[in-house]
Amino acid sequence: MAFFYDEPSRTFNEYLLIPGYSSAECIPDNVSLKTPVVKFKKGEEPALKMNIPLTSAIMQSVSDDKMAVALAKEGGISFIFCSQSIESQAAMVARAKSYKAGFVVSDSNISPDKTLKDILDLKKKTGHSTVVVTTDGTANGKLVGIVTSRDYRISRMSLDTKVSEFMTPLKDLIYAPKGITLSEANDIIWDKKLNSLPIVDDDGRLLYMVFRKDYDAHKENPYELLDASKRYIVGAGVNTRDYEKRIPALVEAGADILCIDSSEGFTEWQKRTIAFVREKYGEKVKIGAGNVVDRDGFLFLAECGADFVKVGIGGGSICITRETKGIGRGQATAVIEVAKARDEYFEKTGVYVPICSDGGIVYDHHITLALAMGADFVMLGRYFSRFDESPTNKVNINGTYMKEYWGEGSNRARNWQRYDMGGDQKLSFEEGVDSYVPYAGSLKDNVTLTLSKVKSTMCNCGALTIPELQKKAKLTLVSSTSIVEGGAHDVILKDKNVTPIK
């Protein structure tokens, strides 16, 4: 007879935190969100920590090199998606690792034979008003000019006008040679009253752009996550099929940490993948594994040598694994059980294996609940897909801006490796959907707001660190009626468009 759990599996929405005593020191400015990312022995420090407990999901619609840089600036780690060619993923990792703060690889480029219409289409796509003109229209082509909004007037020009006719040509541009420091570049920008400064190599090929607007932004990243060489920390996903080729390429490209991307981690395939890393690199290369939802799954991966373990099956907003296969577990219940197994494993072995809660987070306060229940950090897909820095298109639907968001198990992604059970190399049925999410603006603004809420709630619980929160947190289950009570109720909400009667 099958084993039956006595308690139902529960979601984050079924719990609330109970306030605890808060001292005068317990204010959000004093809260530290630093957290371990990889396993460590008792009395030692982990080889890798994050300054905030957020990672971005290993998804085509979420994590590329642009997201990796943006999240590292805020103190978290992005795991660049692996459902692409090895060469393409390695190139993304390399670009993120070679990114120089303040030196931006241009993503708004055009060739001089294009038209004003092409400029407007590109501006609509990227949201950038400065477009670099290179001979071949690439980010590393020979610089021939720049187009800004001051170079054209839509009402007085034909959309067929060639870019070469209205761009500011190279002879009228101020640019700088490679090797210039950021400080020197900013001095030129301020002295010459420029909005941007191209950096070119000895052959006149574009390397980077330095923007005036970025000057203050670089002063506003106190939590940025850097390696020993002052480069951003970058993660990358791997699968259990081509890992013998993909992992060496990603390590060579500079990936700081890897994570096995799989819908189910309690498998021999994950054991083989971790064993390959340990045999080839020892403990030097860090690799997380998952996903699991119970004690047995965690202990299996911990014994295999995983540096961290991801928790969660079927809880993602675009995941339909529970619908299609009837397998998974409520995210809160899964995190609570795995966290308890993690603590017992630490007591028994002296090795602390961090856990990552992946899925089931709908509201900002769910992050705090996940941390209180024992997660060391969380992995978010939908949350990050809404931002400017995600790799998907921003579209206008019925007057509202949205971002595209699709699951790795959808027909659009066709990431069969993630759901691989050792059979045919194909996606037999969908375990994810193709969707839209409301556009939310920049990553920095949203992450700052989210973490302000997390810090404030931690102070309500009398905690200044994540371990302290896990020790002091008191959690209560809530009824369906209590959930209703928690929102606005029994009032008529004001319509901002209503004109008051005088």
Which residues form the catalytic set?
319, 418
Tokens 């070119």 belong to 200
Among left, alpha and beta (phi > 0; psi -120 to 50; other), residue 51 is: alpha
Separation of CA 155 from chain center: 40
Query: What is the rounded CA–CA span in Å between residue 78 and residue 72?
Result: 7
Residue 69's identity, in one-letter code, is V
Beta-sheet pairing, 176-177 with 196-200: parallel
DSSP H stretches of helix in 106-160: 116-126
Query: What is the rounded CA–CA span in Å between residue 386 and residue 437?
Result: 6
Closest to 59 measured CA to CA, from 362, 414, 311: 414
Dihedral, 405, 446, 237, 406 alpha carbons, nearest 10: -10
Q: With contact defined as beta carbons under 8 Å apart, do 172 and 148 qualify?
A: no
Q: With contact defined as beta carbons under 8 Å apart, do 286 and 326 qualify?
A: no
Query: What is the rounded CA–CA span in Å between residue 331 and residue 11?
Result: 5
Query: What is the rounded CA–CA span in Å between residue 501 and residue 240?
Result: 66
Q: With contact defined as beta carbons under 8 Å apart, do 492 and 64 qualify?
A: no
Degrees, nearest 5: CA angle 394-261-3:
120
Separation of CA 100 from chain center: 19
Three-state DSSP class for 497? coil
Tokens 């045919």 belong to 424
b/e map of 269-305 (b: 16 or more CB within 10 Å)? bbbebbebbeeeeeeebbbbbbbbbbeebbbbbbebb
Rg of the chain in Å (alpha carbons): 25
Cβ count near 161 (within 10 Å): 14
Query: What is the rounded CA–CA span in Å between residue 289 and residue 310?
Result: 6
What end-to-end distance do the CA atoms of the chain give, in Å?
A: 73
Q: Which two tokens stand for residue 497?
A: 């468009």
| DSSP E strands, 188-322 | 196-200, 206-211, 235-238, 257-260, 287-292, 309-311
